[in-house]
Amino acid sequence: MKCFKFNLKNNNLCEKKECRYWINCNAYNNCAINASSIDKHLTLKEIGKIFNITRMRVCQIEKKAIQKIKEKIKRKD
């Protein structure tokens, strides 16, 4: 069983701060994977609170990620 599933099932907080999915958020057991599976519809403000960044910065990151995905799709055509 993956650690994020184990922590979610047993309601444990993840202590592996070196994990790339670790976030400082007890509500989601300190795991970004659990956050995305539990709450499918987080606002930019809520995401910003989890990562301790502004809503605007979340928006900038989102736009950049979408741009990168579109570029990858265009290259495959």
Instruction: Give the pLDDT of the chain (77 residues) as one tens digit per residue.
Output: 677 777 777 777 888 888 888 888 877 888 887 777 776 788 899 888 888 899 999 999 999 999 999 999 988 76
The answer to whether 48 touches 35, Cβ cutoff 8 Å, is: no
Instruction: Clarify whether residues 50 and 62 are in a common domain.
Output: yes
Q: How many domains does the chain have?
A: 2
Write down the pTM of the prediction: 0.64
10 and 30 in a single domain? The answer is: yes
Q: Mark whether 54 and 27 lie in a shared domain.
A: no
What domain range includes position 6? 1-40
**29, 16 in Cβ contact below 8 A?**
no
pLDDT score for 57: 97
Residue 31: how many other CB atoms lie within 10 Å? 24
